Amino acid sequence: MKLAVCSFVTPELTPAELAAAAKAAGIEGVEWRMKDSHTQQLTQTGEERTPRPIQGDASSLKEITHLERCQRHNLSMISPDQEETHITQFRQAAEDYGLAVLSVSPAVYYKYDGLGNLSEIKKALSLAETLDAQSIRLSSPLYDRTQHFHELFDLQIEYLTAALALCKQYGIKGLMEIHHKTIAPSASAAYRLCEKFDPQWLGVIYDPGNMVIEGYENYRMGMQLLGPYLAHVHVKNAFWLKHAGDAVPAGGVTEWNPVWSDTQRGIVPWTQVIEDLKSVGYDGYVSLEDFSGTYPAGQMMRRFADYMRSLI
């Protein structure tokens, strides 16, 4: 297995700074987050360059602040609508520090609006071709109880059919992430969507951190089920905290909130996950996607690399 990092979780670093820090940590690949058309304009000032540490209490879920920074004030988020000089800095950063460009990653999930977001796929594929990326990330529709699962399932099959036709034209693989709040929150749900497609062109990003929030299944069983569709792994962690206050809220059930944590503090037993990945012969990348903001980006990457190497 090899190590990678998602630029989504290093908002305070420019592409060159990210690549230099990744190289220093012994990380070999990078996933570039793509700025989606609906995302706010990137902030180029220095005011958001230092993430705030997470406070481990339920009264102030400060990881939301860091997540918003990752989404909206990210110095290493690539925009397909910018001039060539903007895009060139991402390609040059990876080349200068010998990083493999694994993926161009648009938004993971969406409120389904037909095949309208195929325009985002075309932009991602064009960027991936320019950056010599191996894959792009494909979307999954949100499940929010307003549309029937089977309707969304059929729409997603239609979307994947169209998206993968584009992927084949470019010779670039599409990856669908296991993600909470979508119709693919677990390995078995993702497999149902993938099983009719060629694994040469469609793969699954296995994400145990997301499965803390929704979709947990025995790790090894899920990996065995995915088989050739197991294409990539995201490394992060999370836990649940009881809502602040002792009183039981209306409805009579205690409320809990999911909180992102650093890799070694959450519910996911990464020792077991790596062992299970070995058992199914996985030899791809494990990629840092830590949203906790617990450590500055450089330190976060070094801790991740040291920990993963100790397990691998």
- The residue range of the domain holding 226 is 2-311
- Grouped pLDDT means (10 residues each) for the chain, 312 residues: 96 96 98 70 32 38 62 85 90 97 83 68 94 95 93 93 96 97 96 97 98 97 98 97 71 83 96 98 98 94 98 98
Which pLDDT does position 114 carry in this prediction? 57
Output the pLDDT for position 182. Answer: 94
Give bridge partners of residue 241 from the DSSP assignment. 257
Residues 300 and 290 sit within 8 Å (Cβ to Cβ): yes
What was the pLDDT predicted at 197? 98
- Look at the chain and report how many structural domains it folds into: 1
Number of CB atoms found within 10 A of residue 200's CB = 11
CATH number of residue 271's parent domain: 3.20.20.150
Question: In this predicted structure, what is the pLDDT of residue 60?
Answer: 41
